[in-house]
Structure 1
């Protein structure tokens, strides 16, 4: 990893919140996490979100400013509160979330600034959770039409999803990221046999929705990147690290993936893209919270230490 500032711009749409962890609260929300890492990796990325006009919202804005996260598309709600999530981590480091509803990011509104920013961006990242309310969902539908390269991060959080909504969102995307469990849900909704291999399930999902790229993450078993344009399915193992928590590991994986996938100055092999994605994800997994501080030196040292194992 090198410290670079690239001529690439992105927009992440959706939730921003306080994760209330057993050890204290952390800034969170999948779109915010992805944008944090992309900006750290030299790709200017806006976050289109909404916070309340309360102390929690003011503290989020202040912290995002400190973290050099652009605030241009932050909206303020004078009725709904800033989002908070109760996070429970069990002995196996698995995470369970209690997500408050409704909150400010359920009412993200659409204006000319939002349309123009997405129109000029190289990519647009959105998640399924942010569409649980119709106001934000209608805003998303207006923005997707303007986006050049559309990335859906499937994020199934009961009870905030339906089969119909997930199917519609997948249909908008050029690249879909989901985990093994989410692949199982989508495959079952399509009526695929439960004993079908994940490879066949992935191919069936991509064919059904005409999605050219699909990433399926498998936690400690790594991830597989499927591409119909490249005619390949490439598996890359996860790094062996001491897990502190898994919060945001998938978000950092996606950010690192996009930081190389969207480079317009060179054609980078899939294996190299996945290697870097697995590296950053591993670093985050052995850190506390979704947005740990790091620089090129820290990541390079992490790679070196991992290679010594």
Structure 2
């Protein structure tokens, strides 16, 4: 899909894995999904992670290279296995996960050459799940010290998170993406007033951690972008599509948002940025798995036919 190749460079840090779906195994891991879509959208994004010295690891690296995801920062662990996740999808298309622990990506080591890559990158995307083990967590914190623009994807998967570590990661972030349930958990941890609406809760979180941007996703109800400096809260409703599964929909939303946000040109306003993010997320939701194949004409056509169907653009 790379109709243009930008000078912008990014890195995603954290988990890579095989999702074992009822239909077979699929490439997965939230930061890997983000990296896949960013590369599809013309922003070269490397994946800093670790796989096992096993068949699953070999196949994962080979597929990443086939899909255009750079693997130069992949580490290979001689002891820990490549990560796998058992995925269950219910009748409402909601997804639950059984995540194996420990695995190779729990042991991402700090490599001096990787630090240099992070320093030169325009942004670093990381998730809270990668903080579940001391080794990867301490590596991540070192990298956050040198990253230019830090994007936290809150991904609270029981029992693999702790209050202390998630709150610490919030303190590093410039942009945070979370869903409504995760916002409620964070608000409870911070003992924010229960009667406050989501907007007030986000405002207090942003003030507490001196962050400027927060995206809260609401599934079929869309997402709200909050920007402190611009003093805006912009709600973009989700497109209505036939849902295959919701795996990776939030990851594609974040990638599409960043692909527009990081261009930082005069053309893209928040409506355009959020609209494109909603488009790609909807496309992924009506597809199977987190990393479906697509190109620019496919996404443009998808956006066109769904945008025309939205109530706010219908003619009398």
- Answer yes or no: same fold by TM over 0.5: yes
Structure 1 window deviating more from structure 2 (206-215 vs 80-89): it is 206-215
User: Would you say 1:130 and 2:130 are equivalent positions?
Assistant: yes
Correspondence list, 1:170-185, <5 A:
170-185=170-185
CA distance in 1, matches of 2:171, 2:198: 20
Aligned partner of 1:55 in structure 2 is: 55
Per the TM alignment, residue 308 of structure 1 is displaced from its structure 2 partner at its CA by 4.8
Per the TM alignment, residue 195 of structure 1 is displaced from its structure 2 partner at its CA by 2.7
Aligned partner of 2:96 in structure 1 is: 96
CA distance in 1, matches of 2:307, 2:231: 30
**TM-score calculated relative to the size of structure 1:** 0.98
Contact 2:2 2:39 in 1 (8 A): no
Q: Aligned to 1:215, what secondary structure does the other structure show?
A: strand
CA distance in 1, matches of 2:97, 2:61: 23
Aligned-residue RMSD, C-alpha: 1.2
Aligned partner of 1:280 in structure 2 is: 280
Aligned partner of 1:22 in structure 2 is: 22
Go from structure 1 to structure 2 and tell me whether the alpha carbon gap of 1:289 and 1:274 turns closer, same or farther (over 3 Å shift).
same
Correspondence list, 1:133-152, <5 A:
133-152=133-152
User: Would you say 1:64 and 2:79 are equivalent positions?
Assistant: no
Q: Aligned to 2:171, what secondary structure does the other structure show?
A: helix
Correspondence list, 1:1-309, <5 A:
3-266=3-266, 268-309=268-309
CA distance in 2, matches of 1:253, 1:228: 21
Aligned partner of 2:313 in structure 1 is: none
CA distance in 2, matches of 1:276, 1:307: 10
Per the TM alignment, residue 112 of structure 1 is displaced from its structure 2 partner at its CA by 1.5
Contact 2:106 2:136 in 1 (8 A): yes
CA distance in 1, matches of 2:21, 2:160: 21
Q: Aligned to 2:151, what secondary structure does the other structure show?
A: strand
**TM-score calculated relative to the size of structure 2:** 0.96
Which string of whole-angstrom CA distances, capped at 9 and with x for unpartnered residues, describes residues 137-156 of structure 1? 11001100110000000000
Q: Aligned to 1:157, what secondary structure does the other structure show?
A: coil
Structure 1 window deviating more from structure 2 (254-263 vs 189-198): it is 189-198
CA distance in 1, matches of 2:19, 2:164: 28
CA distance in 2, matches of 1:157, 1:188: 17
- How many matched pairs? 309
CA distance in 2, matches of 1:146, 1:50: 21
CA distance in 1, matches of 2:225, 2:212: 11
Per the TM alignment, residue 113 of structure 1 is displaced from its structure 2 partner at its CA by 1.5
Q: Runs of 4 or more off by more than 4 Å in structure 1?
A: none
Structure 2 gap segments, 5+ residues each:
310-316
Per the TM alignment, residue 211 of structure 1 is displaced from its structure 2 partner at its CA by 1.2
Q: Aligned to 1:102, what secondary structure does the other structure show?
A: coil
Contact 2:283 2:302 in 1 (8 A): yes
Q: Aligned to 1:96, what secondary structure does the other structure show?
A: strand
Q: Aligned to 2:42, what secondary structure does the other structure show?
A: coil
Contact 2:16 2:50 in 1 (8 A): yes
CA distance in 1, matches of 2:2, 2:240: 23
